[in-house]
């Protein structure tokens, strides 16, 4: 299979043979690096500023097929990390399935475990099968079938059935069971599997006695609509597996303060974070708000939730009440616990060109420059001596304020006109603002503006490390991969923790 049998080596293309999207001399990456950067920035099926969805998705699939065969051990670690470390659902599912297809064709074992590792939420076995069926039909290779079945056994229970087995889904829990034949881990799960099949095929069989949560939900559903607003016992709602979304639909009316008070105790961390505006709109009491704030600011809850730091910025921007500002700031600090406290002098360059106004989150509420700003300012807050610069066609130093929180600094950055929206003149920004700093960090999409310099970081001495964080995953880099020139993807606290590892002499190249 020559199309998959590729050596993983750095491209020998010289600058001038390839260019960035804005015409500057560029550099190609070796396949693992290109896949890593594309994977951590890839919202499958979405356009980016310089690359359409079809071209981008095809490039992703081709890279997955090549790397999965050329370096199966690396690929397995990458897929698991992409889902649980980078917290990316679609990209990890597509990578696992396309990698499994390539490995099966090449006779390489191990893809069953890779598929299983990519499926971490109960709707994802169905998502995986929907992708495969839509692209390759009903012929499922054994590793794909068994990997999805393993995930179903691990993820399917009463609460997940109630939350995710939607009639709107093309592939439901019963379809997954029909197609992959998972072996239940105990009698109760066996009852659940049979009931899921009954639901899917509209069989009028009673709910098995062992499934007490489903029975409790059925009792609530039998209540007349006019009586449902009177059900405000949190324990009763929790016993029936009610989420805030299902409660709103079941009540068939707007969620008032009593309804929110009843469901808040059983809400997950991310659900609370997303509903702060709704809590304010119905004016939940200060006592209820304090319980929410305490959970948001709890370091154990923050760690367990695995919520990415940018989510706190999104919640901060959406919540009208100042009572959420302090717990959100504390939560953000906990989420950034691994951002290193850098010594010496650090130059931090935040790309605020027009292409950085592309969507960073799938709902479009966060842009690439929002994410870059959060992490740039967080890194600066933890650094001994940092110079923060916003750059596009122009570049300007963002002055630090003693004791200012990261979220307040982000708001000042936005309101102070530091988002430029022009071209990406990276080389100009580096040459203007580098002044014997001990390291340089650039947060960018790497699509540097055309210029005559062969390397946008040539102004930085070779012995000074330059770290580029790529937020878009485009194919062409703005600088070559070389000693003291490092490119990363994925804005997480763990990713930034790699800076001191590299500077202390570690050879670790990946955050997994």
Q: How many residues are given for the chain?
A: 512
Alpha-carbon distance 193 to 186, whole Å?
Answer: 11
Confidence (pLDDT) at 347: 97
pLDDT at 29: 65
Average pLDDT over residues 379-403: 93
Query: 3-class SS at 389?
Result: strand
The band of 88, judged by pLDDT with boundaries at 50, 70 and 90, is confident
| Residue 122 in tokens | 């109960």
Tokens of residue 232, six digits: 């405000």
pLDDT of residue 358: 79
Mean pLDDT of the chain: 86
Per-residue confidence band for 12, with pLDDT thresholds at 50, 70 and 90: very low
Global model pTM greater than 0.85: no
Task: Report strand pairing: 466-470 vs 439-444.
Answer: parallel
**What is the full DSSP assignment across 86-134?**
S--HHHHHHHHHHHHHHHHHHT---HHHHHHHH--STTHHHHHHHHHHH
Sign of torsion over alpha carbons 313, 315, 316, 318? positive
- In this predicted structure, what is the pLDDT of residue 321? 87
23-49 per-position pLDDT tens digit: 555 556 678 888 886 776 554 444 443
**Token pair for residue 384?**
């001994």
User: Hey, which bits of 159-299 come out as E strands?
Assistant: none
CA-CA distance, 160 to 169, in Å (whole number)?
Answer: 14
What was the pLDDT predicted at 17?
A: 55
Quote the pLDDT of residue 289. Answer: 96
**DSSP per residue, 407-419:** HHHHHHHHHTT--
- Confidence check: pLDDT of 195 > 80: yes
* C-alpha–C-alpha distance, residues 113 and 453, integer Å: 46
* CA 52 – CA 36 distance, rounded (Å): 19
Report the distance separating Cα 60 and Cα 56, nearest Å: 6
Q: Measuring CA to CA, which residue among 348, 354, 374, 342 is closest to residue 433?
A: 348
Joined together, the tokens standing for residue 172 give: 């439901």
What pLDDT is recorded for position 192?
98
Task: Give the model's pLDDT for residue 481.
Answer: 62
Cα separation, 221 vs 228, in Å, equals: 9
The Cβ-side half-sphere exposure at 250, using a 13 Å CA radius, reads 25
Q: Is 274 helix (H, G, I), strand (E, B) or coil?
A: helix
What Cα–Cα distance (Å) separates residue 22 from each residue in 285, 353, 354, 458?
Answer: 53, 12, 12, 18
Compute CA distances 218 → 1, 204, 214, 231, whole Å: 54, 14, 6, 14
- The Cα 131–Cα 222 span in angstroms is 36
Model pLDDT, residue 48: 41
Distance from C-alpha of 65 to C-alpha of 83, rounded to nearest angstrom: 18
Look up residue 182 and give its DSSP letter. P
How far apart (Å, rounded) are the C-alpha atoms in residues 360 and 314? Answer: 11
Per residue in 316-338, pLDDT (tens digit) is: 888 878 899 999 999 988 888 76
Write out pLDDT tens, residues 241-278.
999 999 999 999 999 999 999 999 999 999 999 999 99
CB atoms inside a 10 Å sphere around CB 359: 17
């Amino acid at each position: 299979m020559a199309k998959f049998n590729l050596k993983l080596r750095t491209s020998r293309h010289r600058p001038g043979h390839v260019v960035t999207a804005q015409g500057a001399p560029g550099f190609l990456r070796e396949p693992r690096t290109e896949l890593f950067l594309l994977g951590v920035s890839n919202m499958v099926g979405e356009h980016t500023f310089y690359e359409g969805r079809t071209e981008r998705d095809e490039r992703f699939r081709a890279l997955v097929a090549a790397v999965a065969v050329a370096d199966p051990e690396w690929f397995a670690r990458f897929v698991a990390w992409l889902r649980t470390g980078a917290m990316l659902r679609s990209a990890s599912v597509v990578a696992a399935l396309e990698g499994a297809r390539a490995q099966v064709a090449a006779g390489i074992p191990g893809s069953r475990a890779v598929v299983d590792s990519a499926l971490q939420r109960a709707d994802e076995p169905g998502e995986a099968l929907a992708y495969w069926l839509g692209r390759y039909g009903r012929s499922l290779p054994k590793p794909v079938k068994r990997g999805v079945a393993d995930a179903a056994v691990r993820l399917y229970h009463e609460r997940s059935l109630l939350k995710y087995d939607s009639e709107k889904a093309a592939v439901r829990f019963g379809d997954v069971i029909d197609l992959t034949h998972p072996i239940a881990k105990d009698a109760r799960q066996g009852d659940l599997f049979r009931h899921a099949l009954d639901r899917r095929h509209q069989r009028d069989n009673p709910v098995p006695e062992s499934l007490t949560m489903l029975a409790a939900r059925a009792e609530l559903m039998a209540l007349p609509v006019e009586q449902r607003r009177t059900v405000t016992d949190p324990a009763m709602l929790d016993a029936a597996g009610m989420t805030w979304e299902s409660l709103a639909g079941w009540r068939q009316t707007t969620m008032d303060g009593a309804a929110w008070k009843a469901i808040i105790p059983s809400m997950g961390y991310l659900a609370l974070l997303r509903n702060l505006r709704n809590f304010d709109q119905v004016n939940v009491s200060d006592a209820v708000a304090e319980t929410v704030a305490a959970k948001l600011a709890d370091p154990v809850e923050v760690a367990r939730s695995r919520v990415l730091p940018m989510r706190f910025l999104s919640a901060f921007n959406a919540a009208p009440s100042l009572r959420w500002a302090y717990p959100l700031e504390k939560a953000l600090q906990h989420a950034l616990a691994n951002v290193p406290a850098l010594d010496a002098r650090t130059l931090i360059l935040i790309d605020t060109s027009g292409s950085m106004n592309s969507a960073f989150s799938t709902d479009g509420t966060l842009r690439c420059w929002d994410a870059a700003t959060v992490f740039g300012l967080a890194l600066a807050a933890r650094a001994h001596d940092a110079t923060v610069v916003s750059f596009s066609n122009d570049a300007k130093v963002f002055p630090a304020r003693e004791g200012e929180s990261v979220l307040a600094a982000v708001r000042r950055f936005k309101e102070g006109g530091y988002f430029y929206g022009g071209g990406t003149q990276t080389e100009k920004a580096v040459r203007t603002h580098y002044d014997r700093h001990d390291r340089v960090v650039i947060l960018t999409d790497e699509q540097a503006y055309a210029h005559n310099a062969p390397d946008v970081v040539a102004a930085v001495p070779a012995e000074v490390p330059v770290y580029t964080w790529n937020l878009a995953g485009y194919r062409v880099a703005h600088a070559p991969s070389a000693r003291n020139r490092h490119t990363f993807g994925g804005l997480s606290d763990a990713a930034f923790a790699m800076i001191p590892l590299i500077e202390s002499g570690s050879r670790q190249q990946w955050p997994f």
